[in-house]
Chain A
Amino acid sequence: MTNTVSSAEAPALLGAKGYPAALAWIARRAEAFVIPLAALVVGMALFSLFIALVGKSPVLLYETMWRGGFGSWFSIQNSLSRAAPLLLAALCVALPARLGLVVIGGEGAIVLGGVSAAAIGVALGGAPSFIVILAMGVAGLAAGGIWIGAVGALRHYRAVNETISSLLMAYIAIAVMNQLVEGPLRDPASLNKPSTQPLADIYRIGNIPGMEVHWGLAVGVVACVLSWVLIEKTRWGFAARIAGGNVRAAQVQGLAVGPLIVGFTALAGGFAGLAGMLEVAAVQGSANGSLAAGYGYTGILVAFLARHNPLAIIPVAILLGGIDASGGLIQRRMDLPDATVLVLQGMLFIVILLSETLYGRFKAFNPDLWRRAS
């Protein structure tokens, strides 16, 4: 026993056998990249099969998808614009997931964040633009934070299942939005599509210089990086990971699990609410039914694909933003229904979840087993 330990530590300590040690280091970390990537490829292959079965060309499909999502500077910008809300919506799933909670009602926080931001933006009309935009951001954060924070509180203090309650609250949030947008907040000028009053141009969020992509992308990336720092590098993140592993162990250790759960879910909901605010301030210009565009649901897929790692969310959100963006082109060029993208997302989701069973099964990723074998 002592022998194996010393031989395992020797290369790293002495530096004499730097190469095998580096290989072992890479192998240990490779699992988290290789398995999701392989699952992604398998999912895409299954989808090709599906497309071939309905009598279309998978090659043409992926070509169209590439052209619509990433083939040109125009389509890349389009994909990035769609990735912006996905980044924040995915955080709404990933942060609670680190505590062991499956929250799938981010759509509700997006919708309410958007409506509150629009209401504040109209109410503060006339104030300096940076104050109004800041207030709108705070309103979005607060609305989403309260909404999903309530889900966390119900979970911890009343043992209400967070998966079901969050989705129910998403339906309730959409009903509240419809009520507000059709009633007290309605702009009488919006006839066909009930909306709140449009924001003045100075209160709109513009594009990142040199791109046709609004600032929401930068906000989303910053939120992901901050979330990663919070989870991996701070005391609270450490406590959250312990509680996510074993709630009772965390309680025995004297961790305040309740505030931790409420805090993380509120932050997660706040991010989703911010996504709603950005949709209103940067894209729509007012709050209306378009807020419930399904970003909250695609965000669930993004978070699971990224295995709830906030940094991994960034590339995954861009990838799925691209798939989303190519939906229109697929529909027009290949005469496929717009739900094609949904089918692809569903397949990817299932394959990714199924791949969870592969972790720890491959000897290649476990250097400890190499030595035992030799």
Chain B
Amino acid sequence: MDATGIGLWGVPLAILGGAIRVSTPFIFVSLGEAITERSGRINLGLEGTLVFGAMTAYAVAVMTNSPWLGLLAAAAAGLCFGLFHGWICKFPKVNDIAIGIALMLFGSGLAFFFGKPFIKPKAPNLPAIPFGAWSDIPQVQAALDVNVLFLIGAVLSLVLWWAFRNTRAGLIVRVVGDSSDAARAMGLNPNTVRLIATGVGGALAGIGGAYLSLYYPGSWTERISSGQGLMAVALVIFAHWNPLGCFAAALLFGGAGALGPALQSVGVTQGYYLFYAAPYILTLIIMIATSSPTRSLAGAPGELSITR
């Protein structure tokens, strides 16, 4: 991208465009993780689900020539991973965090195993809506080319925010997440609710993966995800388990992730790798700033092992 035409204005513009582009997988993974964590479980395996979703989406899109079928397949694959996590964690003495780490390895391994033949062929991409068509400047057009999944993610975060407060299902998930005993007293089975919540979370993470391979960066490689699934988990904590907060935090992270490429586009190459690490550093700083040894986080589900 040549930004010389509009000078240094290219940097904030590229960051804005990057934030929209990079944040979409964060939005889906963090919304999925928010649902899972609200039910009192933590699924660190979403990183593996993301990679496997990316592979599935790409493979199906190559074979059927339809990105939407790919997206659907990725969601289904993510659902399976989530249900698997939810099922295993129901057994006593099984640690949900450790299972997540195992699924992270397993999901990536399976994705690389089956994804090998799909590294070469080209899959059709998910469509984007050119909101920047009014402008003559190519950088503005590039920045405002918004993928439909971003818009779906934005709507979804609103819907989830509303649903957690106002629907029966939302209340059930919150009760189970806050106290298994209270849920049992109400006649709910916490394991079933968590199974469903983890499954839905996995499906959303699969969609996030589909976005990676079918839109941005838009191809399937073994390095397609670099910890986005994991950062999303940290992001949920930072967002205090609030779907709207997840959306805002995902945008922030997307912007941080776009910092390196944006600076590179105007010719700043010094410290490229350190800018590349900006999202990780930002996540870490935010975690340090928002955690406290003396008080528990506002909005934290009571059954969540990570905050106990």
Dominant SS among interface residues on chain B: helix
Contacts of A169 in B (CB 8 A): 280, 284
Q: Name the contact of A163 in the complex, choosing from B94, B97, B276, B281 (C-beta under 8 A).
A: B97
* Chain B residue nearest in CB terms to A357: B91
Residue pair A175, B288 in contact (C-beta under 8 Å): no
Instruction: Assess A179 versus B227: contact at CB under 8 Å? Given A161-B306, A337-B112.
Output: no
Instruction: Report 28 cross-chain contacts, Cβ distance below 8 Å, ordered by A residue.
Output: A102-B95, A102-B98, A158-B293, A161-B234, A164-B287, A165-B287, A172-B280, A172-B284, A175-B274, A175-B280, A176-B274, A179-B273, A337-B116, A339-B111, A339-B113, A339-B116, A342-B105, A342-B109, A342-B112, A343-B106, A343-B109, A343-B110, A346-B103, A346-B107, A350-B106, A353-B99, A354-B88, A357-B91
CA of A154 to CA of B290, assembled, Å? 12
The count of residues in chain A whose C-beta lies closer than 8 Å to any C-beta of chain B is: 44
The count of residues in chain B whose C-beta lies closer than 8 Å to any C-beta of chain A is: 46
Contacts of A165 in B (CB 8 A): 284, 287
Contacts of A338 in B (CB 8 A): 112
CA of A278 to CA of B292, assembled, Å? 37
Residue pair B291, A353 in contact (C-beta under 8 Å): no
Q: Interface digits, B270-291 against A, CB 8 Å rule (1 contact, 0 not)?
A: 0111101100110110011001
CA of A156 to CA of B234, assembled, Å? 18
A residues in contact (CB < 8 Å) with B: 102, 104, 154, 156-161, 163-165, 167-169, 171-172, 175-176, 178-179, 182, 297, 300-301, 304, 336-340, 342-347, 349-350, 353-354, 356-357, 359
Residue pair B230, A345 in contact (C-beta under 8 Å): no
Contacts of B99 in A (CB 8 A): 350, 353
CB of B148, distance to nearest CB on chain A (Å) = 30
Contacts of A160 in B (CB 8 A): 287-288, 291
B39 within 8 A of A: no
CB of A185, distance to nearest CB on chain B (Å) = 13
Instruction: Assess A353 versus B273: contact at CB under 8 Å? Given A339-B109, A339-B116, A343-B110.
Output: no
Contacts of B88 in A (CB 8 A): 350, 353-354
Instruction: Assess A342 versus B113: contact at CB under 8 Å? Given A102-B98, A161-B287, A349-B102.
Output: yes
CA of A318 to CA of B112, assembled, Å? 25
Q: Name the contact of B113 in the complex, choosing from A172, A297, A343, A353 (C-beta under 8 A).
A: A343
CA of A301 to CA of B102, assembled, Å? 8
Instruction: Assess A347 versus B106: contact at CB under 8 Å? Given A168-B280, A171-B227, A337-B113.
Output: yes
Contacts of A297 in B (CB 8 A): 105
* Chain A residue nearest in CB terms to B116: A337
Residue pair A339, B112 in contact (C-beta under 8 Å): yes
Residue pair B288, A154 in contact (C-beta under 8 Å): yes
B residues in contact (CB < 8 Å) with A: 44, 88, 91-95, 97-99, 101-103, 105-113, 116, 226-227, 230-231, 233-234, 237, 271-274, 276-277, 280-281, 283-284, 287-288, 291-293, 306
Residue pair A164, B234 in contact (C-beta under 8 Å): yes
Residue pair B109, A168 in contact (C-beta under 8 Å): no
Instruction: Assess A102 versus B92: contact at CB under 8 Å? Given A154-B288, A164-B234, A165-B284.
Output: no
CA of A354 to CA of B99, assembled, Å? 8
CA of A102 to CA of B98, assembled, Å? 8
CB of B267, distance to nearest CB on chain A (Å) = 17
Residue pair B101, A104 in contact (C-beta under 8 Å): yes
Residue pair B112, A356 in contact (C-beta under 8 Å): no
Contacts of A102 in B (CB 8 A): 95, 97-98, 101
* Chain B residue nearest in CB terms to A341: B109
Residue pair A172, B277 in contact (C-beta under 8 Å): yes
CA of A344 to CA of B106, assembled, Å? 8
Residue pair A345, B105 in contact (C-beta under 8 Å): yes
Instruction: Assess A175 versus B276: contact at CB under 8 Å? Given A158-B288, A339-B112, A342-B105.
Output: yes
* Chain A residue nearest in CB terms to B281: A172
